[in-house]
Amino acid sequence: MASLQQSPAIKGAKVLMVGAGGIGCELLKTLALSGFEDIHIIDMDTIEVSNLNRQFLFRQKHVGQSKAKVARDAVLRFRPHISITSHHANVKDSSFNVDFFKQFNVVLNGLDNLDARRHVNRLCLAAEVPLVESGTTGFLGQVSVHVKGRTDCYECNPKPSPKTYPVCTITSTPSKFVHCIVWAKELLFAKLFGDKNQDNDLNVRSNDSTGSSEQTEDVFERKADESVEHYGRRIYDHVFGYNIEQALSNEETWKNRNKPRPIYSSDVISAELMQQNGSSDKAGSADDPLSVSAMASLGLKNPQDLWSLMDNSRVFFEALKLFFGKREKEIGSLGFDKDDQLAVEFVTAAANIRAASFGIPLHSLFEAKGIAGNIVHAVATTNAIVAGLIVIEAIKVLQKDFDSYRMSYCLEHVTQKMLIMPVQPFEPNKSCCVCSETPLTLEINTNHSKLRDFVEKIVKAKLSMTSPLIMHGSSLLYEVGDDLDEAMIANYSANLEKVLSSLPSPVTSGTMLTVEDLLQEFTCNINIKHREEFDEENEPDGMVLLGWTQVPTKPKDDDDKPHTGNGVSTSKASETDPAVAQADAGVVKINVEAIDASGKKRKGPDSKDISLDPPSNVADEATAANHKKVQQIDEDEEDLVVLDQWDIDTNKKQKLR
- Extract the annotated binding site for Zn(2+): 153, 156, 432, 435
Is the CB of residue 273 less than 8 Å from the CB of residue 228? no
Residue ranges of the annotated binding site are 19-24, 43, 51-54, 67, 112-117, 153, 156, 432, 435
Give the HSE-up count for residue 609: Cα atoms under 13 Å, Cβ half-sphere: 14
Exposure string over 304-326, b if 16+ CB within 10 A, otherwise e: eeebebebbbbbbbbbbbbbbeb
Is the CB of residue 31 less than 8 Å from the CB of residue 39? yes
Distance CA 32, CA 76 (A): 9
State yes or no: is 124 an active-site residue. Answer: no
Q: State which H helix or E strand residue 390 sits in.
A: helix 380-398
Reduced to 3 states (helix: H, G, I; strand: E, B; else coil), residue 267 is: helix
- The residue among 333, 367, 345 whose CA lies nearest residue 284 is 345
Instruction: Output the CA torsion sign for 599, 605, 610, 616.
Output: positive
- Measured in residues, the chain has a length of 657
- The residue among 81, 86, 98 whose CA lies nearest residue 11 is 81
**CA 591 → CA 146, 160, 409, 422, distances in Å?**
21, 15, 17, 18
Distance CA 445, CA 499 (A): 9
Collect all residues with Cβ–Cβ distance below 8 Å to 134 and sequence separation of at least 6.
Answer: 23, 108, 109, 110, 141, 142, 143, 144, 386, 387, 389, 390, 638, 640
Residue 516 Rama label (left phi>0; alpha psi -120 to 50; beta):
beta
DSSP string of 155-195, one letter each residue: TSS-BPPPPEEEHHHHHT---SHHHHHHIIIIIIIHHHHS-
**The one-letter amino acid at 343:** A
- Quick one: how far is CA 396 from the chain centroid? 32
Q: Are strands 131-137 and 572-574 parallel, antiparallel or unpaired?
A: unpaired
Among the options 168, 180, 410, 433, which is catalytic?
168
Which residues on adjacent β-strands are paired with residue 424? none
Is the CB of residue 193 less than 8 Å from the CB of residue 200? no
- The residue among 101, 166, 167 whose CA lies nearest residue 521 is 101
Distance CA 183, CA 205 (A): 15
Distance CA 174, CA 2 (A): 60
Exposure string over 28-43, b if 16+ CB within 10 A, otherwise e: bbbbbebbbbbbbbbb
Give the sheet arrangement for strand 407-415, strand by strand: 83-87, 38-42, 15-18, 106-109, 131-137, 140-146, 407-415, 418-423
Residue ranges of the annotated binding site for ATP are 19-24, 43, 51-54, 67, 112-117
**CA 556 → CA 290, 553, 581, distances in Å?**
39, 8, 21
Q: Are strands 418-423 and 38-42 parallel, antiparallel or unpaired?
A: unpaired
- Quick one: how far is CA 340 from the chain centroid? 18
- Other CB atoms within 10 A of residue 609 CB: 11
Distance CA 365, CA 36 (A): 44
- The residue among 605, 646, 192 whose CA lies nearest residue 409 is 646
Catalytic residues: 168
